[in-house]
């Protein structure tokens, strides 16, 4: 059997189809299932035929069905990463939401924490301080949003929406909450300002 070519070892002709070659290989593997040496010879012959067919295909001499996989082209497919929650969201929401880095969250957070402290610990100046820190807070939100994708108009729109919602919601919550907790010495405007800064921080950190 050692003097035979790979086709003769499998008992097929040189113009045999791939199905015939595979059938012959499977039949011989089953026939000699207890003979390790013979099985090795069969596999070597089969691989030699495939290599020859691959070379002929690359030279354009034959056309090989796509379902045939040669030894050196067998690639184990990598497991696909499961999509994140943002990737599973609707397209319009994906365009709005951001996956911020730690710096994208902490930098605006530090600014708004400082502005909140200014609005809480300098009540003597009254509404003038609150108006000033709100203006600064709006500018910070626009800056960080615009820095992400360079869309200034969109940054202004998101910031104004956050500002309006924060002031309205803050006023409503303050009028309901503050009378019930007299130990909190905050004015309604101070409470609204701090809540607005929280919303602006969320907008500038998690939207784009």
Question: How many domains does the structure of the chain reveal?
Answer: 2
pLDDT digits (tens, 9 = 90+) for 96-133: 787 888 888 899 889 999 988 888 776 554 677 778 88
pLDDT interval class at 138 (50, 70, 90)? very high
pLDDT digits (tens, 9 = 90+) for 1-26: 556 788 888 889 888 888 888 899 99
> Same structural domain for residues 68 and 114?
no
Q: Which of 73, 100, 119 is the last residue of a domain?
A: 73
> Same structural domain for residues 95 and 125?
yes
pLDDT interval class at 60 (50, 70, 90)? confident
CA dist 4 and 12 (Å) reads 12
Which residue range forms the structural domain that includes residue 29? 6-73
- Given a cut of 80, whether residue 173 has pLDDT beyond it is yes
- The SS3 call for residue 99 is coil
- Residues with Cβ within 8 Å of 154's Cβ and at least 6 positions away in sequence, in order, are 145
Q: Which of residues 185 and 49 earns the better pLDDT score?
A: 49
> Same structural domain for residues 155 and 182?
yes
> Same structural domain for residues 127 and 27?
no
Give residue 139's pLDDT. Answer: 92
CA dist 163 and 89 (Å) reads 25
> Same structural domain for residues 96 and 67?
no
pTM as predicted: 0.53
1 lies in a domain?
Answer: no
- Given a cut of 80, whether residue 90 has pLDDT beyond it is no
- Given a cut of 50, whether residue 38 has pLDDT beyond it is yes
79 lies in a domain?
Answer: no
> Same structural domain for residues 22 and 49?
yes
Q: Are 147 and 205 in contact (CB under 8 A)?
A: no
Q: Which of residues 78 and 92 earns the better pLDDT score?
A: 92
Q: Are 192 and 133 in contact (CB under 8 A)?
A: no
> Same structural domain for residues 113 and 50?
no
- The SS3 call for residue 126 is coil
CA dist 38 and 85 (Å) reads 54
């Amino acid at each position: 059997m050692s003097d035979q070519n790979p086709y003769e070892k499998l008992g097929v002709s040189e113009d045999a189809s791939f199905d015939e070659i595979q059938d012959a290989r499977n039949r011989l593997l089953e026939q000699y299932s207890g003979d390790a040496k013979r099985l090795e010879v069969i596999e070597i012959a089969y691989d030699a035929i495939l290599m020859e067919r691959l070379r002929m295909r690359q030279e354009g001499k034959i056309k090989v069905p796509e379902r045939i996989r040669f030894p050196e082209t067998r690639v184990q497919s990598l497991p696909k990463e499961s999509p994140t929650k943002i990737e599973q969201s609707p397209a319009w929401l994906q365009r709005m939401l951001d996956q911020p880095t730690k710096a994208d969250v902490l930098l605006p957070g530090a600014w708004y924490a400082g502005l909140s402290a200014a609005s809480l610990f300098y009540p003597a100046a009254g509404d003038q301080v609150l108006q000033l820190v709100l203006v600064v807070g709006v500018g910070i939100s626009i800056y960080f949003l615009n820095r992400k994708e360079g869309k200034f108009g969109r940054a202004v729109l998101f910031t104004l929406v956050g500002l309006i919602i924060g002031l309205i919601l803050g006023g409503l919550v303050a009028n309901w909450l503050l009378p019930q907790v007299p130990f909190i010495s905050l004015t309604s405007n101070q409470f609204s300002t701090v809540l607005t800064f929280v919303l602006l921080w969320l907008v500038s950190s998690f939207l784009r």
